[in-house]
Chain A
Amino acid sequence: MLPHLDAAFNYACWLTKSSAEAEDVVQEACVRAMRFLSSLRDDNARAWLFAIVRNTWYSRVSRRANMPEVTPLDPARDERPDVALDPEEQLLQQHTVALVRAALEQLPADFREVIVLREFEGLSYKEIAAVVRVPVGTVMSRLARARERLMAVLKLATPTETLR
């Protein structure tokens, strides 16, 4: 599972919206993954690990009566501005990235995760369906509705040339 640790952590961050929480979830998920290693189908270890991360998170949530305050994601990380751009463009780019992040964080969790699994990890509908444990048709409708929402939010907030 080490080769897929980045992917698992990224997914957990978007799921939990907290990097501290995500670390705990991924660590616990890896312990679980080892316990269930015999059930691993070698053709898709990555999707299998996503499924365990997801189960781990939801069982943690249900264990707690009320959720503690979460430390928000650290926006400074992984948002290195592109040095090839001039300062004004850099600012615009940072602004755009912040808008996109906010738009994603505002999505309901079940919409956000299908977007993350599809757009960042390139999972197929079938793989997403297996991770999220819903029929493929539900994956398609969630993706479509999530995109509609993002479209609505970002179109309002973004200069039109970015969307053209």
Chain B
Amino acid sequence: MSCEHIERDLDSYLDRELDAATAMDVRGHLSECAACRRWVAEREALGRLVRTAPYYAAPDRLRARVLAQTTRSRSARRSLAWAAAAMLVVSVGAGGINLWRSAITRSDTIAADVVDSHVRSLMANHLFDVQSTDQHTVKPWFLGKLDFSPPVVDLASLGFPLVGGRLDYISGRPVAALVYQRQRHTINVFVSPAMNDVFPQTNVRSLRGFFIRRWVHDGMAFWAVSDLNEAELIQLCEALEAP
């Protein structure tokens, strides 16, 4: 395959937007073309450089104003649908998404729980019970708090540093929550012993702007959730599946 043929695909390749077959063609070409490899390396370096630019987090006063507004408009409107919708927004961090739950299956309920826990951990500023980048500190911390021992690995070498862990509840059961970081994105990985009944297959789904992936490995069920993009979340999950 020629360079000019491949060139228009290189950005899509780096952005993980190519289908598997085309991505393989590109990889094949890169393995034998130094010029294109250099181009790709430059683009990757540019990406890293651009991501050092400041990320402007919302100031507290803006957060407070938006929250106040949400509450105000709820009381101003009497329509049942509106009240339900506004409540949804207000209670999104409090675990109350009953509206969503009414018509959905058990797997969806757990997925909604997972997203709730993730959002709650970010909003309530309760991300860690144990804050450490050392897996040998985080793993023993769970001892005596859970009746299982979650696998804890640091993936800093892959760009997903472990930042801590905490105890959480999903569907009324205690689970281990491992917290990973990717640039400005937080990833919660919930671990609990796998129950043999529900959904054996691995899948990625998106709910309310978050990607969720669930899989089972070595008798443990994992849920990873983040606002990270799908490809990078899968990358983390695959690293956890095959440590």
Q: Is the CB of A150 within 8 A of B81?
A: no
Q: B63: which A residues are within 8 A, CB to CB?
A: 2, 5
Tell me if A134 is interfacial: C-beta within 8 Å of chain B: no
CB under 8 Å from chain A, chain B span 77-106: 81, 85-86, 88-89, 92-93, 100
Given the interface pairs A37-B85, A101-B54, the reply to whether A44 lies near B206 with Cβ below 8 Å is: yes
Q: Is the CB of B54 within 8 A of A119?
A: no
Given the interface pairs A27-B65, A31-B69, the reply to whether A123 lies near B229 with Cβ below 8 Å is: yes
Q: Is the CB of B53 within 8 A of A2?
A: no
Tell me if B119 is interfacial: C-beta within 8 Å of chain A: yes
Q: Is the CB of B52 within 8 A of A100?
A: yes
Tell me if B207 is interfacial: C-beta within 8 Å of chain A: yes
Across the interface, A6 reaches (CB within 8 A) one of B53, B54, B58, namely B58
How large, as a class, is the contact surface on chain B? 35 or more
Given the interface pairs A30-B66, A143-B11, the reply to whether A75 lies near B100 with Cβ below 8 Å is: no
Q: B15: which A residues are within 8 A, CB to CB?
A: 118, 125, 143
Question: Chain B, 48-69, contact with A by CB distance < 8 Å: what is the 0/1 string?
Answer: 0111111111110111011101
Across the interface, A150 reaches (CB within 8 A) one of B50, B66, B185, B228, namely B50
Minimum distance in angstroms from A78 CB to a CB of chain B: 4
Q: A122: which B residues are within 8 A, CB to CB?
A: 185, 228-229, 232
Q: What residue in chain B is nearest A5 (Cβ atoms)?
A: B58
Q: Is the CB of B62 within 8 A of A120?
A: no
What total of chain A residues lie within 8 Å of the partner, measured CB to CB? 61
Main secondary structure, interface of A, reads helix
Minimum distance in angstroms from B237 CB to a CB of chain A: 15
Q: A158: which B residues are within 8 A, CB to CB?
A: 49
Considering the chains assembled together, what is the distance between the CA atoms of A1 and B66 in angstroms? 9
Given the interface pairs A34-B86, A100-B53, the reply to whether A27 lies near B45 with Cβ below 8 Å is: no
CB under 8 Å from chain B, chain A span 4-30: 4-10, 13-14, 19, 22-23, 26-27, 30
Minimum distance in angstroms from B160 CB to a CB of chain A: 14
Q: Is the CB of B209 within 8 A of A100?
A: no
Tell me if A47 is interfacial: C-beta within 8 Å of chain B: yes
Tell me if B43 is interfacial: C-beta within 8 Å of chain A: yes
Q: Is the CB of A44 within 8 A of B209?
A: yes
Q: Is the CB of B229 within 8 A of A162?
A: no
Tell me if A46 is interfacial: C-beta within 8 Å of chain B: yes
Minimum distance in angstroms from B42 CB to a CB of chain A: 6
Q: Is the CB of B66 within 8 A of A2?
A: yes
Q: B100: which A residues are within 8 A, CB to CB?
A: 42
Q: A30: which B residues are within 8 A, CB to CB?
A: 66, 69-70
Minimum distance in angstroms from B217 CB to a CB of chain A: 25
Tell me if B46 is interfacial: C-beta within 8 Å of chain A: yes
Considering the chains assembled together, what is the distance between the CA atoms of A22 and B85 in angstroms? 26
Tell me if A154 is interfacial: C-beta within 8 Å of chain B: yes
Tell me if B41 is interfacial: C-beta within 8 Å of chain A: yes
Q: What residue in chain B is nearest A13 (Cβ atoms)?
A: B56
Considering the chains assembled together, what is the distance between the CA atoms of A48 and B208 in angstroms? 10
Tell me if A79 is interfacial: C-beta within 8 Å of chain B: yes
Excluding A23-B61, A143-B11, 5 further A-B contacts by CB distance (< 8 Å) are: A3-B122, A4-B227, A101-B53, A119-B51, A163-B46
- For the complex of A and B, list the 9 residue pairs with the smallest distance between their C-beta atoms, beginning with the closest: A122-B229, A46-B209, A9-B58, A45-B209, A13-B56, A78-B54, A37-B85, A5-B58, A45-B208
- Give 21 CB contacts A-B under 8 Å: A2-B63, A5-B63, A9-B58, A9-B62, A19-B59, A26-B62, A34-B89, A37-B85, A42-B100, A46-B209, A73-B54, A78-B55, A78-B57, A96-B49, A101-B54, A115-B50, A120-B184, A125-B12, A147-B43, A151-B46, A163-B46
